[in-house]
Amino acid sequence: MVRFDSSTADVASVDGVLATTRAVRLRLDLEREVDDQILLDCIDLAEQSPSGGNQGSRRWLLIRDPALKARLAELYMASAGKWMIEARDRIVGTDHPNEQVMRSAAHLAEHLAKVPVIVIPTIIGRHDNSGRPGLFDSVIQGAWSFCLALRARGLGTAWTTAILNAEDDIAELLGIPDTMTQIAMIPVAWTKGTEFGTAPRYPAREIAYFDGFARTWERGPSDPPRLADGPGTVVEVDIKAQPERVWELVTDIDLGARFSSELLGADWSGDSTGPALGATFTGRNTHAAIGEWSVPCFVDVYEDGKAFGWCTSDPGNPGARWRFELEPIAGAVRLRYRGLLGPGPSGISAAIAAMPDKEPRILERRIDEHRANMQAVVDGIKELAEA
C-alpha cells in the first residue's frame, strides 16, 4: 500500500511528470526490454483512479508477442499509418505547423511492430453513447495515470486511438469479447534520454472561465470584481475554409461593421495602410447609451496567419484589447476572438464613476454586449469564408 502525505510532498517532481508526459514516438527505445513488473506496478497505480459507482471495470492487455504486434502494426498502418506517412512526406521541409507531429506519428507507424510492449486498456461494457456514466469515463483517467506512472520511471508512451477503427479486428486477434470497449493503443518503451519539456498550450487565464461560460479575468477577480481585474470574454468558431482566406477576413479591420451592432467602421490612420505590428487605425462606434464615438487603435499583436490584435485609446493604458487567433485543426481553422476591458478608461468609465457600487454589474453587462457582437462577427466571418 502507498501512503502519501502531501504536506511533505516533492511537488516539483509530481508537476514535472504532469507537465512533460508527451506523446513519445521518435524517442521510444526499441532495443531495451521492458520488465513486466514495471508495467504491473504502473497498472496498480492506475487502478487508484476514480471509477463511476466505484466499480473497477478496467482490464489491461499487454501485447509482447512479435506476431501479434506485427498484426497490430498492420492494422495501425491501414487505419492511419499510411495516411500519416503520406502526410509527413508531403509536408517535410515546408515549415508546416504539423511537420514535427507528422514526422513523429509516421515514425511510430513505421516502427510499431518493434515497440517492446503495446498496451490496450479496455473496460467492461460497451461505450454506446447512452450517456450512462461510469463507463468510458472510468477508464481514460486510469489509462492516463498509467502513462504518468511510466513517465516517472523513465518510460515513454503515446496515447493513440487511430487503430480503434479496426476494433473488431483487434478483438478477434486478441480474443476480446464484444462486451468490452477498447480505449486506446499505447506503445510503451524506455525513452531515449530522460528529459522532456512542456508543449505550447493556452495559458489557464485564457481558457478558465469564472462563474459562467467564457468569462475570463486577466487577474483576480477581486470580490467584488473591478475593471482593474481585466474582465474579458472569448468566442470561438470552427471554419471549414483555407486559413489564408480566414486570415484575409480577420485582418480586414472594417469587416466587423457588417456584423456588429456597435462597430460602424474602421480606417487605417497615420502612415498605416494595412495590418502590421505598430500600425494604427481609427474605429467608429455607436451604442444606445453612449452615443457615437471614435477610438484610436494600435496593432500590438501580429503573427502572420496566426494572430492579429490591437488595443484601444492608449497602448500604455488601453481601454480594451482585442485579438483574433487562428489555429489549424483537422479539416478546418479554429477562429478565436478575445476581448478584454481595461485597465484604462473606455465607454463604461463614466457609468462606473457615477455608480461605483454597480461596477460589477456594469462590467458584466458590457462583457455580455461585447460577447454578442463578437459572436456575430465570427459567425459572419465563417459564413463569408465558407461561401
Ligand X SMILES: Cc1cc2nc3c(=O)[nH]c(=O)nc-3n(C[C@H](O)[C@H](O)[C@H](O)COP(=O)(O)O)c2cc1C
User: Which residue in the set 14, 16, 17, 23 belongs to the binding site for ligand X (CB under 6 A)?
Assistant: 23
Start-to-end CA span in the chain (Å): 61
Residues 156-195 that bind ligand X (CB under 6 A): 158-162
Q: Examine residue 13 and tell whether it contacts ligand X (CB under 6 A).
A: no
Q: Would you state the cell numbers that stand for residue 285, as one nine-digit string?
A: 462606434
User: Which residue in the set 28, 34, 80, 189 belongs to the binding site for ligand X (CB under 6 A)?
Assistant: 80
Q: Would you state the cell numbers that stand for residue 123, as one nine-digit string?
A: 473496460
User: Which residue in the set 42, 46, 73, 105 belongs to the binding site for ligand X (CB under 6 A)?
Assistant: 105
* Nearest-10 crossing angle of helices 359-386, 243-250: 130
User: Which residue in the set 39, 46, 108, 186 belongs to the binding site for ligand X (CB under 6 A)?
Assistant: 108
Q: Examine residue 373 and tell whether it contacts ligand X (CB under 6 A).
A: no
Could you give the dihedral angle defined by the CA atoms of residues 102, 64, 42 and 77, in that order, rounded to the nearest 10 degrees?
20
Q: Examine residue 106 and tell whether it contacts ligand X (CB under 6 A).
A: no
User: Which residue in the set 11, 12, 67, 199 belongs to the binding site for ligand X (CB under 6 A)?
Assistant: 199
Separation CA 255–CA 335 (nearest Å): 15
Q: Which lies closer to ligand X via its Cβ, residue 158 or residue 367?
A: 158
Task: With CA atoms as reference, report the closest residue to 74 among 163, 172, 165, 189.
Answer: 163
Shortest Cβ 98–ligand X spacing (Å)? 9
Q: Which lies closer to ligand X via its Cβ, residue 136 or residue 159?
A: 159
Using CB positions, name the residue nearest to ligand X: 162
Shortest Cβ 368–ligand X spacing (Å)? 33
- For 278-313, b where at least 16 C-beta lie within 10 A, e where not — what string? ebebebbbeeeeeeeeebbbbbbbbeeeebbbbbbb
Could you tell me how many residues of this chain bind ligand X (CB under 6 A)? Answer: 12
Q: Which lies closer to ligand X via its Cβ, residue 98 or residue 269?
A: 98
In the complex, the residues that contact ligand X under the rule CB under 6 A are 22-23, 80, 101, 105, 108, 158-162, 199
